Structures are given as structure tokens and as C-alpha cells.
Amino acid sequence: MVAFNDRRKASYDTVDDLLHGLNLQPGDTVGKQVIDGRYVVKGKQTDEGRKFVLHEALPNGRVIERGEFNRRYQANSAASEAKPTRVYDI
């Protein structure tokens, strides 16, 4: 049997449910909402300025990085259009 990401089973209600999987450093920020029940945006300070990292929560509890963007709205737009990651691809 192959495990796959079923959106109905991978829904998270609050960002607090996903904080365990984010590697937060001092100065990092986290979006207030979970996008589509599985995505959260983290802001991190870099040498070039603030970057926004899109993370996806998988049904097995892991939180993986899906991309890095220069603006928060870019990360939010990418989350709205992203297809769920299949667990067996990881």
C-alpha cells in the first residue's frame, strides 16, 4: 500500500499545531493562518533581508519546506496554487 497526501486527513486548524515542525530561530515570524489546512509561512532574517519560507504539513506529522520567497504575498499565492506533496516522494 502506498501512502499519499489526502487533503481531508491532512487538515490543521491553527498555526500552533505546526510550530513543532518549524525550526524557529530568534527573530523569525510565523503567519497567523494555516493556508488550505496544510501550509504556513515563516519569515526569517537573512543577510539580504527578510525572506518568507513556505512550509507544508504532511499527514504523517512532518513539516517540510516548499520554497523561499522575497515577499509574504508571493508565498501565500504559491500556497494557494501548490499541489500537495506525496509522502512517498520524500
Tens digits of per-residue pLDDT, 41-63? 999 988 888 999 999 988 878 89
Q: How far apart are CA 68 and CA 37, in angstroms?
A: 19
| pLDDT, tens only, 63-85 | 999 999 999 999 999 998 888 87
Q: Give this prediction's pTM.
A: 0.81
Q: How far apart are CA 82 and CA 45, in angstroms?
A: 24
- In 16-88 the beta strands, taken as DSSP E runs, fall at 29-30, 39-46, 49-57, 63-69
Q: How does residue 9 score in pLDDT terms, banded at 50, 70 and 90? A: low
| CA 37 to mean position of chain CA atoms | 10
Q: Which domain holds residue 42?
A: 15-89
Residue 78 lies in a domain: yes
Specify whether the CB–CB gap between 87 and 30 falls below 8 A.
no
Residue 46 lies in a domain: yes
The pLDDT of residue 8 is 47
Residue 53 lies in a domain: yes
